[in-house]
Chain A
Amino acid sequence: MAFSSHIFLFYFLPVLLALYHVLPARWLAARNVLLLVAGYVFYAWIDPRLTLLLFGLTVVNYVLSRLIAGSSTRRVQSLMTAGAIALDLAVLGIFKYTAFLGDSLNSLLRFAGRDTLPILRIVLPVGISFYTFKVISYIVDVYRGRSPAARSLLDFACYVSFFPQLLSGPIQRFGTIDAKGEIVPTFADQLRTRWWTPNTFSHGVALFMLGFAKKILLADGVAQVADAVFTAASPGTLDAWFGALAYSFQLYFDFSAYSEMAIGLGLMFGFECARNFDAPYRAEGFGDFWRRWHISLSGWLRDYLYIPLGGNRAGTGRTYLNLMIVFLLCGLWHGAGWTFIVWGAWHGAWLVIERLFGRKPFYAFLPSPVRVLVTFLLITVGWVIFRTPDLAEAGRMLAIMFVPQSAQGGSALLSAVIYTRGHLIVMALCAVLVFQPLQGCDWTGRFHWAKVPVLVVLFALALMTMFAQSFRSFLYFQF
């Protein structure tokens, strides 16, 4: 179920809110059970069979976490932690990477003139990348002794299946918080104690309304431009840049909208979650960008991958290698394809270059607005690689962007599709909004009367637009 779908907005959410708030606040366990059931219904709506996988992963990790916490031998704890992580990664690998590995192997076999192998194509369960990372962070935190094991299967199952975060994050941790992120109570604490006030509820409502408006009015609008350009046979240079910018805007507005809606929904049920975006396109370098973009993922990669690899403690060369490993895996996490790996390498390489220049971009001497612009353009180039179906297509698109040419053949008709009045207005709005510092979390946090009509009008406009256009899923569902 997507947050912007008819069934979620008009049936699932009102019914769940009513049931949840009818239960007395002191019946916290009953409310948690309701959220657990809601999470499974929410997930089953995509495909009921997927709940078996979710349930299986939950039970196995819960049992292993209890064993890890209960074991007095460090060696046994280590073995069980490694086993749990291996199992979680195996599940992720089987569902997400089998076809990719098979295709890559077959390419090698073809190159060597050998017969290719049959490939098992498995449907990717939506959200698997997110909830496997959630359970891995939990297992590692229990092993490190930073988080107690979940007191009950209900608590842990409620954490894993918490519907606002189930499909596309944020990747909130169970018993710890990201030390460099916003300070909020841990999820485990919130399962036991959470305060609900009209103000927190309305903050959640405001965030949800704003996120919904961003998704429908901005992200879905620029998505039409990006889709048209990236599927065109021979767009011109101007078209290619217009499409690349549209995709940069789409990714940000789509994913940040989802995160805001998820955080807003959590607040409606009394759960707090740290922000996941902080004006990422205002970043002045790649390091800065990753402190602002998908903050829960970059924090996860830092705490559960980069630091265990040695971080920056094992010498300069090893730091660079660690950065490259982390970002290659970050790319692979986003999708099973060479374009994602190259995108990860693009980011890793720029981060290494920043380290070479003393944790500053090589263009640090430029004025701040120019640094922001250069970083944004370099990130946009990365998104082109991210968006294209294969490396050949990525190379072709980048060549069009950097070697001036006009649209050829039928692609000359693109201009009628992308440079419409509506698209120009939405692109201009996006261009203004991505570079302004105020974020949804801040704007809705300081609430007063003047914001009520703004939010209501935006939400109503988005609802009416939703009725008038075909449904477009969230981009990050595919990851």
Chain B
Amino acid sequence: MAARRSPCICLSVVFLAMIAVVAVSQIIVEWRQGDSPQIAELFRQKPTRANLRRLESSLESGCRIGQTVRPWMQFARFVLLEDAGDNAILGRDGWFFYRPAVQYLIEPWSPEGGQTQGNVFDAIISFRDDLAKRGIQLLVMPAPNKASVYPEMLTGRTRKETGSVNASTREILVRLKQEGVEILDLFEVYDRAKRVAGSPACYLAQDSHWSPEGMRLAAEAVANRLLDLGWIEKRATKYETRSAPVERHGDVLRMMRVPQVERLFEPQGMDCTQVVDAETGQLYADDPNSPVLVLGDSFLRIFERDEPGSGGFVAHLASNLGFGLSSIVSDGGASTLVRQQLARKPALLKDKRVVVWEFVERDLRFGTEGWQRVPLPAPDGSG
């Protein structure tokens, strides 16, 4: 009996130690830092459902042992199981994909399905009409999900597929075109670029965003479209580009928040080019008085406000058009937030003739704050 009792006691002691050590160590660490224990919040606030969820969430996220263990465990899972975590999917040849963007392509979705706040058609058409009342034209440019352009880098199975991986998006674009919305179809632009043998990839391997090449193609296509439509004329400001190579890990890789995994991959090299004023030699800077306003999300931020700076879409579009542009950038908020910012500062529309509106494809479903109608104040200020 005694022989059977020893393993029982041993197991119980180890179990109790394992479940007690987390809270005890947490309380000790918090005391040593001069903070009162987080769990004491339980007795300081009204025990409503919301408060309890908040406390539970902060206990989890603030857990020191959890913070220490998490990256190592994720590293082990990545190495042994190829599990890249909640936000990332490991593709082929070191390509990473942003999970919600892939989820957007896999799951059935309809803009009329009530899954998003507001309606994408209402939001875009009403915005186009509000701008038209001010004599401003709108060009809409959805930035494709990386997996829409390079599905074969996610799985070899798509090679055998005939159907488009993003039928929902294509249906939305067709319908918007039927409604008279001017769309720049980057899917076609990138499809053409892919067919050119040896051309650089339009997307970054470790990132959810376009590569410098993909960005330059987009800027060129938008400039050509605006000029072809006659909405704007090319002007005489001379810009030059200068090489500014950048090396860094991509955002999808960094979203894993596991330095050990990042160390497994070389930082991706990016053949960036900065735009400089040919006369002054100054780096490109926005011009608030420009006739063109560009709205968008992190696709506009990359290379422009991030490293190397003045080397992103806005600068290259300006270079193609021969004059400086205005821009409003809201990370992850191109569906609604960026228009709300504009509605709060309608003066930004003064003397504008064209608005270029970029948003990433997945935001058709997952855009922050959905696709709300955001009426612009009336041109005469009465509204």
A interface residues with partner B (beta carbon < 8 Å): 5-7, 9-11, 13-14, 17, 44-49, 198-199, 201-203, 205-206, 208-209, 228, 231-233, 406-417, 420-422, 425, 447-449, 451-452, 455-456, 459-460, 463-465, 467-471
Contacts of A452 in B (CB 8 A): 7, 10-11, 14
Q: How far is the CA of A409 from the CA of B4 in the complex (A)?
A: 59
B interface residues with partner A (beta carbon < 8 Å): 4-12, 14-16, 18-20, 22-23, 39, 47-49, 52, 56, 59-60, 63, 65-66, 69-70, 72-74, 77, 80-83, 85-86, 89-91, 97, 102, 104-109, 147, 151, 154-155, 157-158, 160-161, 163-168
Are B16 and A14 interface neighbours, CB within 8 A?
A: yes
Q: How far is the CA of A456 from the CA of B5 in the complex (A)?
A: 17
Which of B47, B73, B107, B165 sits near A232, CB closer than 8 Å? B107
A422-B82, A465-B73 known; A416-B166 Cβ under 8 A: no
User: Which residue of A is nearest B66, CB measured?
Assistant: A467
Contacts of B14 in A (CB 8 A): 452, 456
Contacts of A49 in B (CB 8 A): 49
Are B15 and A416 interface neighbours, CB within 8 A?
A: no
Most A CB within 10 A of own CB, among B11, B69, B85: B11
Are B18 and A460 interface neighbours, CB within 8 A?
A: yes
User: Which residue of A is nearest B145, CB measured?
Assistant: A410
Are A468 and B69 interface neighbours, CB within 8 A?
A: yes
Are B60 and A6 interface neighbours, CB within 8 A?
A: yes
A233-B108, A452-B7 known; A459-B81 Cβ under 8 A: no
Q: How far is the CA of A9 from the CA of B154 in the complex (A)?
A: 38
Q: List 14 A-B contacts (CB under 8 A).
A: A6-B60, A45-B56, A48-B52, A201-B12, A203-B8, A228-B106, A231-B106, A231-B108, A410-B167, A417-B89, A420-B81, A447-B11, A467-B69, A468-B69
Are B102 and A198 interface neighbours, CB within 8 A?
A: no
**10 cross-chain pairs, A with B, having the tightest CB-CB distances, nearest first:** A422-B81, A410-B105, A202-B8, A233-B108, A468-B73, A10-B22, A416-B155, A467-B66, A409-B163, A464-B73
Q: How far is the CA of A37 from the CA of B90 in the complex (A)?
A: 47
User: Which residue of A is nearest B22, CB measured?
Assistant: A10
Are A415 and B157 interface neighbours, CB within 8 A?
A: yes
User: Which residue of B is nearest A465, CB measured?
Assistant: B73
Q: How far is the CA of A11 from the CA of B40 in the complex (A)?
A: 12
Most B CB within 10 A of own CB, among A10, A45, A415, A452: A10
Contacts of B65 in A (CB 8 A): 467
Contacts of A10 in B (CB 8 A): 19-20, 22-23, 63
Are A421 and B82 interface neighbours, CB within 8 A?
A: yes
Which of A11, A47, A205, A465 sits near B12, CB closer than 8 Å? A205
Contacts of B74 in A (CB 8 A): 468
Are B11 and A44 interface neighbours, CB within 8 A?
A: no
Contacts of B59 in A (CB 8 A): 6-7, 11
Are B86 and A469 interface neighbours, CB within 8 A?
A: yes
Are B158 and A413 interface neighbours, CB within 8 A?
A: yes
Q: How far is the CA of A411 from the CA of B103 in the complex (A)?
A: 9
Known: A409-B167, A414-B106. 16 other contacts (CB 8 A): A6-B60, A9-B22, A45-B56, A198-B8, A198-B12, A201-B12, A202-B7, A409-B164, A409-B165, A410-B166, A412-B157, A421-B82, A422-B80, A448-B7, A449-B7, A460-B18
Contacts of A425 in B (CB 8 A): 81
Are B158 and A412 interface neighbours, CB within 8 A?
A: yes
Are A14 and B19 interface neighbours, CB within 8 A?
A: yes
Contacts of A415 in B (CB 8 A): 155, 157
Are A421 and B89 interface neighbours, CB within 8 A?
A: no
Q: How far is the CA of A460 from the CA of B65 in the complex (A)?
A: 13
Give chain B's interface secondary structure class. Answer: helix
Most A CB within 10 A of own CB, among B18, B19, B83: B19
| Nearest Cβ on chain B to A153's Cβ, whole angstroms | 24
Contacts of A468 in B (CB 8 A): 69-70, 73-74, 77, 85
A-B contact count (CB 8 A): 176
Are A416 and B102 interface neighbours, CB within 8 A?
A: yes
Contacts of B80 in A (CB 8 A): 421-422
Are B11 and A206 interface neighbours, CB within 8 A?
A: yes
Q: How far is the CA of A311 from the CA of B15 in the complex (A)?
A: 46
Contacts of B20 in A (CB 8 A): 10, 14
A201-B12, A413-B154, A415-B155 known; A5-B56 Cβ under 8 A: yes
Q: How far is the CA of A422 from the CA of B168 in the complex (A)?
A: 30
| Nearest Cβ on chain B to A465's Cβ, whole angstroms | 6
User: Which residue of B is nearest A468, CB measured?
Assistant: B73
Are B19 and A9 interface neighbours, CB within 8 A?
A: yes
Q: How far is the CA of A139 from the CA of B204 in the complex (A)?
A: 66
Which of A45, A228, A447, A456 sits near B8, CB closer than 8 Å? A447
Contacts of A14 in B (CB 8 A): 16, 19-20, 23
| Nearest Cβ on chain B to A147's Cβ, whole angstroms | 33
Which of B11, B63, B163 sits near A202, CB closer than 8 Å? B11
| Nearest Cβ on chain B to A97's Cβ, whole angstroms | 23
Contacts of B158 in A (CB 8 A): 412-413
Q: How far is the CA of A144 from the CA of B86 in the complex (A)?
A: 53
Are B49 and A48 interface neighbours, CB within 8 A?
A: yes
User: Which residue of A is nearest B91, CB measured?
Assistant: A416
User: Which residue of A is nearest B158, CB measured?
Assistant: A412
User: Which residue of B is nearest A209, CB measured?
Assistant: B15
Q: How far is the CA of A13 from the CA of B47 in the complex (A)?
A: 19
| Nearest Cβ on chain A to B97's Cβ, whole angstroms | 8
Q: How far is the CA of A447 from the CA of B5 in the complex (A)?
A: 9
Q: How far is the CA of A409 from the CA of B9 in the complex (A)?
A: 57
Q: How far is the CA of A414 from the CA of B73 in the complex (A)?
A: 25
Are A420 and B15 interface neighbours, CB within 8 A?
A: no
Are A406 and B16 interface neighbours, CB within 8 A?
A: no
Which of A232, A407, A417, A420 sits near B161, CB closer than 8 Å? A407
Are A233 and B106 interface neighbours, CB within 8 A?
A: yes
Q: How far is the CA of A232 from the CA of B108 in the complex (A)?
A: 6
Most A CB within 10 A of own CB, among B7, B73, B89: B7
Which of B5, B66, B89, B168 sits near A199, CB closer than 8 Å? B5
Are B23 and A420 interface neighbours, CB within 8 A?
A: no
Contacts of B15 in A (CB 8 A): 205, 208-209, 459
Q: How far is the CA of A233 from the CA of B19 in the complex (A)?
A: 42
Q: How far is the CA of A411 from the CA of B7 in the complex (A)?
A: 50
| Nearest Cβ on chain B to A241's Cβ, whole angstroms | 16
Contacts of A417 in B (CB 8 A): 89, 102, 106
| Nearest Cβ on chain B to A366's Cβ, whole angstroms | 35
Contacts of B52 in A (CB 8 A): 45, 48
Which of B22, B60, B107, B147 sits near A231, CB closer than 8 Å? B107
| Nearest Cβ on chain A to B248's Cβ, whole angstroms | 25
User: Which residue of A is nearest B161, CB measured?
Assistant: A412
User: Which residue of A is nearest B108, CB measured?
Assistant: A233
Q: How far is the CA of A413 from the CA of B83 in the complex (A)?
A: 16
Which of A6, A9, A413, A456 sits near B105, CB closer than 8 Å? A413
Contacts of A464 in B (CB 8 A): 69, 72-73
Contacts of B8 in A (CB 8 A): 198-199, 201-203, 447
